[in-house]
Amino acid sequence: MASITKLPSGRWRAQLRRRQKSVSKTFRLRADAERWATEQQDRLSRGEGINKRLPDSVGTLGDMIDLHLTDMAEVGKEARRSKEATLLRLKDTIGTIRLPNLTRERIIEFGRDRAKEGAGPATLAIDLSFINTVLKHASAIYGYSVPTEQVRLGRNALVILGLVGKSTERDRRPTEKELSRILAFFRTNRAVLIPMERVIKFAVATAMRQDEITRILCDDFDLQGPSVLIRQRKHPREKKTNNQIIPLVADTGFNAVALIKEQLGIVSKKGTIFPYNPRSIGTAFRRACIELQIDDLHFHDLRHEGISRLFEADWDIPQVAAVSGHKDWKMLQRYTHLRPSFIASRAGRVVVPRVA
């Protein structure tokens, strides 16, 4: 007998029991779980054993993506939000391609199309890496014949064309005039429902990413600290449990505690302090920059601004890292861009930081 259960993750588990033994498999969609359960029940009725492999007719890239997501979730290594979003977008765009048709030429065409859409070399490199991952998964675990060599050749061609490569390190910080203009824009623009002026100031004050800002719960704010808890903070190795308590300071020129107190005056005390969609925050920021004719400035650059301001306030590396969440100086250094005027003002007494 089969049962279909929705898991806390939002996925669906199909489970079959027979002679005091059970087997289960998880799926992103309920329809997939029901289809698998029906197929296995048919096998049992014919006296065959349960088969957790996909049928031989399955052979598109989209099938491989579903297989990878399902299997990883089943062993407790469910894809993180960014990886899942990338894989599902790949499924929507080129998921219908059958594996024999996933040729070098098709990979190059895909890369050119993504570049036209605005994807940078680093983004396209991630896309191709995930395609390679799901193909290797299908080959290693299920024995599918997959065109990894064609993907490799296509990637090499895109590297030569300059469409695939490493990310370019940004050193963009808003000038004082630019930041003042942006804050004034949102202060007087009643059409924007998000209190963007406060959000921007808080982003500089804490050096937080926009999605981190929108995840802080009212209960995570400790006035006595003063500090906040950031849950599941982004980290290259600690994917699921990287919770971090960071101090709230005013050394960047904006008082983080005062900003939270202002925000608590307009929101429910039971939810998040900044209950807004991070994408909406980014969109509002971009539109303001376009309207004000401020070129090449992203919301994420405010994180660079906050970190750089802390160094300019004579903070040392461990102190800044306690706010930014970086685990080593090399990563923190990428976000540190001291202004020439500050360096000139320190001439003759600059101390080069040392890392133990």
Instruction: Say which CATH number the domain at 203 has.
Output: 1.10.443.10
Summarised one tens digit per residue, pLDDT across range 67-114 is 888 888 878 787 777 788 889 889 989 999 999 899 999 999 999 999
Residue 267 lies inside a defined structural domain of this protein:
yes
pLDDT at 166 over 60: yes
At residue 270 the predicted structure's pLDDT band, cuts being 50, 70 and 90, is confident
Model confidence, pTM: 0.60
CA distances from 28 to 13, 25, 173 (A): 9, 10, 41
Rounded percentage of the chain residues whose pLDDT exceeds 70:
83
Split into its structural domains, the chain has a count of: 2
Taking alpha carbons only, the member of 356, 299, 294 closest to residue 328 is 356
Based on the fold, state whether residues 184 and 212 are members of the same structural domain: yes
Q: Are residues 94 and 240 in the same domain?
A: no
User: Of 160, 191, 222, which residue sits at a domain end?
Assistant: 160
Residue 168 covered by a domain? no
pLDDT band with cut points at 50, 70 and 90 for residue 18:
low
Q: Is residue 43 part of a domain?
A: yes
- pLDDT of 27-54, one tens digit each? 778 887 888 788 777 777 776 655 555 4
Residue 171 lies in a domain: no
The arithmetic mean of pLDDT across residues 220-228, rounded, is 94
Q: What are phi and psi of 298, to 5 degrees?
A: -110, 160
Predicted pLDDT of residue 164: 93
Check: CB of residue 148 under 8 Å from CB of residue 139.
Answer: yes
* 123, 258: one domain: no
Tell me, yes or no, whether 60 and 107 share the same domain: yes
Q: Is pLDDT at 264 greater than 70 in this prediction?
A: yes
Residues in the chain: 356
Q: Say yes or no: 233 and 306 in one domain.
A: yes
**Residues 136, 343: Cα–Cα separation, whole Å:** 50
Cα–Cα nearest to 223, from 260, 251, 253 = 260
- 243 in any annotated domain: yes
Domain that holds residue 143: 2-160
Given a cut of 50, whether residue 56 has pLDDT beyond it is no
207 shares a domain with 73: no
CA distance 213 to 204: 11
Q: Which of 160, 185, 211 is at the close of a domain?
A: 160
Cβ neighbors of 209 (< 8 A, separation 6 or more) are 234, 300, 303
What is the C-alpha to C-alpha distance for residues 33 and 3, in angstroms, rounded to an integer?
A: 9
Contact (CB, 8 A) for 264 and 226: no
Using 50, 70 and 90 to split pLDDT, how confident is the model at 266? very high
Strands (E), the chain: 2-6, 12-18, 21-27, 221-222, 227-230, 244-247
Q: Do the domain assignments include residue 76?
A: yes
What tokens does 333 get? 């250094």
